[in-house]
Amino acid sequence: MTDKPQYVIGVDYGSDSVRSVIVNAADGKELATSVFYYPRWQKQMYCDAAKNRFRQHPLDYTEGLEHTIKECIAKAGAEVAAQVKAIAVDTTGSTPVAVNEQGVPLALLPEFEQEPNAMFVLWKDHTSTAEAAEINTHATKFDTNYLQYVGGIYSSEWFWAKLLHILRVDEKVRAATYSWVEHCDWIPFVLTGGTQAKDIMRGRCSAGHKGLWAEEFGGLPPNDFFASLDPLLDGFTDRLYKETYTSDVSAGNLCAEWAERLGLSIDVLVGVGAFDAHMGAVGGQIEPYHLSKVMGTSTCDILVAPNRDMEGKLVKGICGQVDGSVIPGMAGLEAGQSAFGDTYAWFKNLIAWPLQNLLSSSKIIDAQTAGALQEEMIGKIIPELSRQAAELPLDEKAELAIDWFNGRRTPDANQLLKGTITGLGLGSDAPRVFRSLAEATCFGARNIVERFRSEGVPVEGLIGIGGVAKKSPYIMQMMTDVLQMPIRIHQFEHTCALGAAMFAATVAGIYPKVEDAMEAMGGGFEKEYQPQTENAEFYNKRYQQYLELGAFTETLV
């Protein structure tokens, strides 16, 4: 490294917002941060929760990109902006979109600007459950198991199921679609001024975990696999990709248009994109066989292992194992829960219904006071529920829940499953039900750990990342008690953005490999939760109850 200051930008696209950070590449210290909440998404435009349809407009992404980076530069100053060397981006996923031959999302064209099927299909969109089921059945007809690197089960949250659904349900979008692109691949393409969809550099992370790409297949499965699934997919692989790239590789330089819009130099390099949890694991200083849990609306659980240890091992029922998807040169394994923070948010909104629907019509207080009161009370619900739930005695006959409120991601993806709460009685108040939901999310986490272990992959500890990890001691202590393993909480608040910044520093050549960037820029952990051994037997019994209730719940689909 040079003595001259060098700065990098990490951009993290979450489900609700995008956050950018400028950090010092020497030590990972944050100079500026900015967050932008997607305005159309906040209004739930183009979404229908009752139909499990969740779409996001590309303008939410580009407006947020420009706003956050410009605000970071305004905070950090022109001197810092002149020393920015690289930008790297992570996004949620699988969140793909239909593009034309020029790589433009169809929703940015006048004829499709209000069409949900022309927008990004968010990871949590489950409108393609039928297509996922067809892919799973279809894959059994081939001598080669094309699902072997994605846990053996294809999910409706992923690339091909979403594509097939959109092509089937919308003839106009189908006719205009040239290719299908992940959000994490599209943003670098935009920043580098790409003009042809065929030139989009596809990330190893998204392609391997969601797109069925594998070196052993020579790229994607052959055209016959897709054409025999549905003729609508015949020839589609020709418009996709054969090569993929790890995120320590440059996608090119910042183009003149975006350099001017952002106030940066065209010398700034742009890295190949990846998913948020994978870069978040790097930002959280992941270690081999330590499960990095990015805990937000859902969880993404990431584990890395030396490639030599994974020879001959294929973990069933997870979201894939891909060489280089997290750290180049190591196997990256992904699992997760489809609803985590979303489970708590659902319950909060359920019990806040009177505040949200009746308070504004109160004849006792004015509208301004009602609005302020609503905001204050809703903000206190989860902290107070956590406080009161923590005071409840451990009870083997207490309310019991299953955490499949948005289906089950892992182990063994099934997005048709629903959440369950049982053991309810007249004494079941809000703190008791909340406790059952917290237990369910922790038991879901344990089920993932048990799957890794049963498949011969050890899990030696956990690293907690994300809002829930940092803000909810109650849930974190419960999780460490349920798992009987310590959980370290990373000190950096915006860990996914920090991971993107580490990759940016590697792309810029400031560090020869991302492990070096992790060591220099990581900053360590702020807290470690230790399991209370006296609770182990109780949670072991409750976990068995959870498994039995889950097995029953599956029979109801």
Is residue 418 included in any domain, yes or no? yes
Rounded to whole angstroms, the Cα distance separating 57 from 41 reads 8
pLDDT of amino acid 60: 98
Structural domain contains residue 122: yes
Residues 188 and 43 in one domain: yes
| Tens digits of residue pLDDT in 475-532 | 999 999 999 999 999 999 899 999 999 999 999 999 999 999 999 999 999 999 999 9
Q: What is the CATH number of the domain that holds 146?
A: 3.30.420.40
pLDDT at residue 466 in the model? 87
DSSP summary character for residue 107? G
* Residue 2 banded pLDDT, cuts 50, 70, 90: low
Retrieve residue 275's tokens. Answer: 């998913």
Are 279 and 345 part of one and the same domain? no
Q: Please tell me whether residues 434 and 507 are part of one structural domain.
A: no
Over the chain, what is the mean pLDDT? 97
- 145 domain residue, yes or no: yes
511 in the same domain as 536:
no
Q: Which two tokens stand for residue 325?
A: 């998807």
pLDDT digits (tens, 9 = 90+) for 384-397: 999 999 999 999 99
333 is a domain residue: no
- 417 and 550 in a single domain? The answer is yes
Cα distances (Å, whole numbers) of residue 56 to 47, 121, 125, 274: 8, 7, 10, 18
- The Cα–Cα gap between 119 and 62 comes to 13
Q: Please tell me whether residues 415 and 514 are part of one structural domain.
A: no
pTM for this model (two decimals): 0.93
Question: Average pLDDT of 408-416?
Answer: 95
Answer yes or no: do 230 and 377 share one domain: no
Confidence category of residue 276, pLDDT binned at 50, 70, 90 = very high
Domain assignment present for residue 313? The answer is: no
Q: What's the total number of domains in the chain?
A: 2
- Is the residue at 367 inside a domain? yes
How confident is the model at residue 4, as a pLDDT?
83
Which range of residues forms the domain containing residue 122? 7-284+493-522
**Which residues make Cβ contacts (< 8 Å) with residue 118, sequence separation at least 6?**
97, 98, 105, 106, 107, 109, 112, 170, 173, 176
Residue with tokens 């849930």: 475
Residue 200 lies in a domain: yes
Q: Is the model's pLDDT at 283 over the cut of 80? A: yes
Share of the chain above pLDDT 70, in %: 100
Same domain for 446 and 515, yes or no, is no
Confidence of residue 1 (pLDDT cuts 50, 70, 90): low
Give the span between the Cα atoms of 64 and 482, in whole angstroms.
39
pLDDT single digits (tens) 143-174: 999 999 999 999 999 999 999 999 999 999 99
d(CA 181, CA 179): 7
Q: Which two tokens stand for residue 222?
A: 């052959």
Q: What b-and-e string marks burial along 353-363, b requiring 16 or more CB atoms within 10 Å of the CB?
A: eebeeebeeee
Does position 138 have pLDDT exceeding 90, yes or no?
Answer: yes
Residue 508 lies in a domain: yes
Phi, psi (rounded to 5 degrees) for 102? -85, 0
Residues 89 and 228 in one domain: yes
**Tens-digit pLDDT profile for residues 422-464:** 999 999 999 999 999 999 999 999 999 999 999 999 999 999 9
Q: What is the pLDDT of residues 435-444, one digit of tens each?
A: 999 999 999 9
Which ranges of 455-494 does DSSP label H, i.e. alpha helix?
Answer: 467-471, 473-483
Collect all residues with Cβ–Cβ distance below 8 Å to 409 and sequence separation of at least 6: 155, 157, 298, 319, 335, 336, 337, 338
My answer on whether 482 and 540 are in the same domain is yes
Rounded average pLDDT over 301-310: 96
Q: How many helices (H) and strands (E) does the chain have?
A: 20, 20
Q: 346 and 457 share a domain? A: yes
- Asked if 504 and 434 sit in the same domain, the reply is no
Q: Tokens 């997870």 correspond to what residue?
A: 318
Instruction: Report the pLDDT averaged over residues 68-93.
Output: 97
